[in-house]
């Protein structure tokens, strides 16, 4: 961030965000941020109406708060109808970030995941709606999948869910996890309908420390209206001075990140954010085109989505993506390699996220370094999987028992042997 913002953050490092009576300006800055973000997400607010939302430590806390609001509202409705309210569930895609699994486990909500399939690595809206039942507190859509940056089709999900709600008499809502895409879509895809323009979208979370361009430790959750945040979840305290409403999982935290977010929103404005996001997208295309020219990769990510490039080898029979990731570290690059979730776990990808400071020159350099790694791998022997025991034979009472290992265990063994081979080769070549 800019030096002026760094200075502001250091000056506010001793300010406690929660002490609204002693530091009222921090609360005012948070409320202004909530209002600006709510308008960015097309919240249906009147001219003098205040947006409903709160600053959080990150999108994980924001998702917990949104999930609690859905759960409590569903429970209240079920109680009023005299129906059981002990088996709530959430419908998501199998590509959700781990914080959704945390919410489900911590707050005793069943997580119903729509399985992925080869070539389609986001939640299928039609299958998601099929899984909705009377105990579903919400359907969670992701604007910017962690795996490949793709935006899920929230508009189609909304339309299908409206029809199901009409047929069943339910009122199942939608939450949009826009942790990555919330500060991207409004600026470079303004006509894309994913936010509060869709009537079933009741809450949205976004990370300020991703494409909100703030240092780590700030997220936001915005609700459509007051009716979507049950009043009983809001606590009122007065031992710090005046009456103070609070709806957070933690209590004390620093004010610096809130001040930094307000600085960025004011400093950059709509045009500034749009210019930065367009530049990230352009550099993403440079990297994608460079990788395609090598002729060695399949591009798994989409052009419309979070500016990242996810790619896999066309032929990984001799060498795989984990080896490329490991060898790129020698050039200073940390490029994660990972397998897709269940039903697509046979696909391994590498992922490069394009940040504001990832220039065109860096994109070209990365392609050059990947090309070097590929050429070096071509000179090395193929992975010797035959030397790795995929099945352990144990003789017991004259009977041979075969214990099969999982794909993950096998992959770990292959990676360990390969890493050892590469390290020994480095020693022989005198590389330090």
218 and 311, same domain (yes or no): no
| 140 inside domain | yes
| 417 inside domain | no
What pLDDT is stored for residue 36 in this prediction? 97
| 358 inside domain | yes
What is the DSSP-derived secondary structure letter of residue 385?
Answer: G
What pLDDT is stored for residue 281 in this prediction? 97
Choosing from 229, 247, 271, the residue where a domain stops is 271
255 and 312, same domain (yes or no): no
| 359 inside domain | yes
Radius of gyration of the chain (CA): 25
241 and 166, same domain (yes or no): yes
What pLDDT is stored for residue 61 in this prediction? 95
Beta strand 52-56 pairing with 219-223 = antiparallel
25 and 64, same domain (yes or no): yes
182 and 255, same domain (yes or no): yes
Shortest CA distance to 122 belongs to which of 152, 159, 98? 152
Q: What is the pLDDT of residues 123-179, one digit of tens each?
A: 999 999 999 999 999 999 999 998 999 999 999 999 999 999 999 999 999 999 999
Task: For residue 223, count other CB atoms closer than 10 A to its CB.
Answer: 23
136 and 207, same domain (yes or no): yes
| 409 inside domain | no
83 and 225, same domain (yes or no): yes
Choosing from 379, 395, 426, the residue where a domain stops is 379
Structure tokens of 82?
Answer: 């005299």
Determine the Cα–Cα distance for residues 206 and 220; give it in Å rounded to an integer. 5
68 and 188, same domain (yes or no): yes
Residue 291 belongs to a domain with what CATH number?
Answer: 3.90.1150.160
What pLDDT is stored for residue 426 in this prediction? 58
Q: How many domains does the chain have?
A: 2
DSSP character string of 221-287:
EEESSGGGS-GGG-EEE-TTSS-EEE--SS---BSHHHHHHHHHHHHHHHHHHHHHHHHHHHHHHHH
Determine the Cα–Cα distance for residues 10 and 56; give it in Å rounded to an integer. 19
Structure tokens of 74?
Answer: 């569903």
27 and 121, same domain (yes or no): yes
* Phi-psi map region of 285: left, alpha, beta (phi>0 left; psi -120 to 50 alpha): alpha
- Report the greatest alpha carbon distance in the chain: 83
Choosing from 233, 250, 271, the residue where a domain stops is 271
Determine the Cα–Cα distance for residues 422 and 320; give it in Å rounded to an integer. 14
Asked if 195 and 243 count as a contact pair (C-beta separation under 8 A), the reply is no
Residues 6+ apart with CB under 8 A from 307: 149, 184, 277, 280, 281, 283, 284, 353, 354
**How far is CA 56 from its chain centroid?**
15
- Dihedral of CA atoms 347, 313, 328, 363 in degrees, nearest 10, equals -110
For residue 312, what is the enclosing H or E element?
A: strand 308-313
| 401 inside domain | no
364 and 219, same domain (yes or no): no
247 and 201, same domain (yes or no): yes
Number of Cα atoms under 13 Å in the Cβ half of residue 175: 32
DSSP character string of 177-227:
E-TTTTTTHHHH-TT---STTSTTEEEEEEETTTTT---SS-EEEEESSGG
Residue 128 belongs to a domain with what CATH number?
Answer: 3.40.640.10
149 and 171, same domain (yes or no): yes
Range of the domain at 128: 3-271
Q: At what angle do helices 3-11 and 256-294 cross, to 10 degrees?
A: 140
DSSP character string of 65-107:
HHHHHHHHHHHHHHHHTT---S--EEEEETT--HHHHHHHHHT
| 47 inside domain | yes
| 266 inside domain | yes
pLDDT tens for the chain, residues 1 to 432: 999 999 999 999 998 887 777 788 888 999 999 999 999 999 999 888 899 999 999 999 999 999 999 999 999 999 999 999 999 999 999 999 999 999 999 999 999 999 998 889 999 999 999 999 999 999 999 999 989 999 999 999 999 999 999 999 999 999 999 999 999 999 999 999 999 999 999 999 999 999 999 999 999 999 999 999 999 998 877 765 666 677 888 878 889 999 999 999 999 999 999 999 999 999 999 999 999 999 999 999 999 999 999 999 999 888 999 999 999 999 999 999 999 888 888 899 999 999 999 999 999 999 999 999 999 999 988 764 433 433 444 444 555 555 555 666 666 676 676 667 666 665 555 444
């Amino acid at each position: 961030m800019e030096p002026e913002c760094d200075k502001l953050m250091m000056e506010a490092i001793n300010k406690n965000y929660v002490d609204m009576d002693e530091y009222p300006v921090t609360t005012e800055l948070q409320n202004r941020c909530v209002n600006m973000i709510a308008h960015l997400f097309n919240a249906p607010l009147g001219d003098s109406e205040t947006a409903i939302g709160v600053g959080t430590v990150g999108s994980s806390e924001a998702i917990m708060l949104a999930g609690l609001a859905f759960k409590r509202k569903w429970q209240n409705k079920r109680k009023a109808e005299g129906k059981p309210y002990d088996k709530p569930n959430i419908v998501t895609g199998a590509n959700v970030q781990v914080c959704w699994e945390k919410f489900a486990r911590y707050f005793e909500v069943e997580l119903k995941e729509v399985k992925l399939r080869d070539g389609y690595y986001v939640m299928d809206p039609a299958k998601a709606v099929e899984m909705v039942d009377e105990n579903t507190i919400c359907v969670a859509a992701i604007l910017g999948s962690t795996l490949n940056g793709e935006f899920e089709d929230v508009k189609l999900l909304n339309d299908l869910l409206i029809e199901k709600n009409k047929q069943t008499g339910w009122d199942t809502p939608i939450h949009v996890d826009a942790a990555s895409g919330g500060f991207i879509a409004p600026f470079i895809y303004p006509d894309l309908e994913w936010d509060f323009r869709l009537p079933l979208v009741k809450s949205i979370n976004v990370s300020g420390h991703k494409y909100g361009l703030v240092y780590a430790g700030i997220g936001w959750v915005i609700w459509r209206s007051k009716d979507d945040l049950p009043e009983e979840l809001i606590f009122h305290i007065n031992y710090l001075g005046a009456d103070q409403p609070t709806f957070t999982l933690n209590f004390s935290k620093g004010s610096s990140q809130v001040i930094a977010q307000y600085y960025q929103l004011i400093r950059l404005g709509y045009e500034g954010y749009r210019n930065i996001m367009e530049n990230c997208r352009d550099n993403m295309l440079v990297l994608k085109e460079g990788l395609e020219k090598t002729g060695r990769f399949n591009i798994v990510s989409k052009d419309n989505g979070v500016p990242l490039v996810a790619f896999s080898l066309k032929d990984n029979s001799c060498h795989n993506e984990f080896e490329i990731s490991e060898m790129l570290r020698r050039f200073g690059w940390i490029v994660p390699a990972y397998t897709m979730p269940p039903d697509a776990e046979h696909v391994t990808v590498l992922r490069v996220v394009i940040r504001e400071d990832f220039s065109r020159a860096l994109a070209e350099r990365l392609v050059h370094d990947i090309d070097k790694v590929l050429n070096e791998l071509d000179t090395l022997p193929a992975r010797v999987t035959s030397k790795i025991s995929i099945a352990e034979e144990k003789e017991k009472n004259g009977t041979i028992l075969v214990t099969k290992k999982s794909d993950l265990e096998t992959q770990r063994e292959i990676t360990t042997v390969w890493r050892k081979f590469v390290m020994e080769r480095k020693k022989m070549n005198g590389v330090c």
